[in-house]
Amino acid sequence: MVDTPAPGTQTLARGLAIIRAVADGADDLRTVVERTGLGRSTAHRLAQLLVTEGYLRSRRDGYTLGPTLIELGFQALHGNPLPVVARPVLEELSAQLHDTLHLAVRDGDSVLYLDKLPGTRGAEMRSRIGHRMPLTRTGVGMALLLDSEPQWPALYQAEAPTAPDQVHPQDLDAFLARMRTYAESGVAMDLEDNEPGIRCVAAPVRDATGSIAGAISVSATRPYMPAARMRGLTTVIGRAAQRISATLGHREP
């Protein structure tokens, strides 16, 4: 027996597709139509409804995300205990290290940043709260994957960059060897895999079941993150992650 879609499901899906398109940079009706495949009149009608409800904001030259999404986003963020319990630890680390701190979770096949404390030296990182990045090219992403070895090859191959200015391990075997080392130590490193000149050290945060619930990282430009300092930071970040994990009910064996 085939399930019959609930009334309004198609309309809801179309409205969500418009929101996603605007979030991805479709800032005028023509681009929204191209990205969603909807007819112009349908897209315009749904976009106007989304503006009325506050999910989009209408501008002279098109659309941006609206205040309702900001409100719901903050409610979703604060409904997750991880950012709340991690914040004091991240603030201590920020005062101690003066580098950029991140808190992130895995969302599907990408990293989703939940918190960021910018550093006070070096270049500003392009990451931001709510931003998504590849799992296998970021320190927090690799930390989030430490318990997921069967998934490493497929994720790596799906996310392998094509841009010539991106630094990345040369082959799958090199990446897998790195990940096995990180899984053994419990700490991962971004060796300019995502942004040239940016390095980071990351560690997973575990919940009461022992599962990885998130990850934290410290990031800095190469002059502030030489190899010797990265090795020293593995203990600092590992212990900070353990403190957050303990607050979530995790107990080290």
- pLDDT, tens digit, for every residue of 54-106? 888 888 778 888 888 777 776 665 666 788 889 999 999 999 999 999 999 99
**Annotated domain spans of the chain:** 9-71, 80-247
Q: Which amino acid is at 49?
A: L
Q: Which pLDDT value is given to residue 65?
A: 85
Q: Which pLDDT value is given to residue 2?
A: 41
Q: Which residues contact 81 (CB under 8 A, 6 or more apart)?
A: 248
Residue stretches of the chain with pLDDT short of 50: 1-4, 162-166, 169
Q: Which pLDDT value is given to residue 80?
A: 64
Q: What share of the chain has pLDDT > 70, as a percent?
A: 88
Identify the CATH assignment for 80-247 out of 3.40.1390.10, 1.10.132.20, 3.30.70.3270, 3.30.450.40. Answer: 3.30.450.40
Predicted TM-score (pTM) of the model is 0.71
Q: Which pLDDT value is given to residue 26?
A: 84
Which class is domain 9-71? mainly alpha
Identify the burial level of 96 via C-beta atoms within 10 angstroms of its C-beta, where 0-12 means exposed, 13-18 middle and 19 or more buried: exposed
